[in-house]
Structure 1
Amino acid sequence: MIKVSILYPYRENGRFDVDYYCATHMPLAAKLFGPLLKGWSVDVGINAGPPGSPPPYVAAGHFLFESTNDFYTVFKPASEQLLADIPNYTDGGNGAILISEIKISV
């Protein structure tokens, strides 16, 4: 199982519409990815450890797939529509992508 994470760095005075991201963008991606997508979630940054410190990331979206090939298969045809939606929830650009292998799940 692999996880594709899109990490959106925190920027002071940056715009990130968490409600839009959770209610519109991520469900759109899930619909476009279809049955090869095994699950998705969103993390919203709170802080960097010490109370009151800004988080390193304002948000992270996560998608689960059986393999990287499954992700690449569904992302390529959906990428144009998903990338075009980014300005609807942030003024910070695309975010960084991390593809990781899940070793343990409970």
Structure 2
Amino acid sequence: MIRVTVSYPPHENCTFDHDYYQSAHAQLIRDRLGVQGLIKLEIDQTLPDGSGALPASVAAAHLFFADVASFQAAMAAAGQELGDDRENYTDILPVVVVSHVIQ
């Protein structure tokens, strides 16, 4: 199994609508990628660590697929629509990391 982590590293004066991301965008992911092999979706909202520094990310989505080929096929089918929805919740460019799930 693989996990695709899409995280949003903040910049000065960035915007991020957590309510929209956790409800509407998450549902869009489930609707579009669920039929394309998405096994599980987890959404994170980063909490402040108390230092006053910007966190490494403000939010992240973790998408689980059987393998990289399944993820690539899903994104070929629905990636454009998911990417276009970003303007509804943030001005942050996401960072994507694909990992092999060990445990």
TM-score of the superposed pair, with normalisation by structure 1: 0.88
Q: What's the CA shift string for 1:13-62, capped at 9, x where partnerless?
A: 21000110110112101111124111001111113x45444311001111
Which SS does the other structure have where 1:90 is aligned? Answer: coil
Structure 1 stretches of 4+ with a deviation exceeding 2 A read 49-54
Q: CA deviation at 1:79?
A: 1.2
Aligned residues: 102
Instruction: Report the structure, 1 or 2, having the larger strand content.
Output: 1
Q: Bigger CA drift: 82-91 or 28-37?
A: 28-37
Question: Any unmatched runs of 5+ in structure 1?
Answer: none
Question: Any unmatched runs of 5+ in structure 2?
Answer: none
Partners of 1:80 and 1:52 in 2: CA distance: 35
Which SS does the other structure have where 2:7 is aligned? Answer: strand
Q: Which residue of 2 aligns with 1:88?
A: 88
Q: Which residue of 1 aligns with 2:43?
A: 42
Q: Is the 8 A contact 1:46 1:54 kept in 2?
A: no
Partners of 2:68 and 2:26 in 1: CA distance: 19
TM-align CA RMSD: 1.4
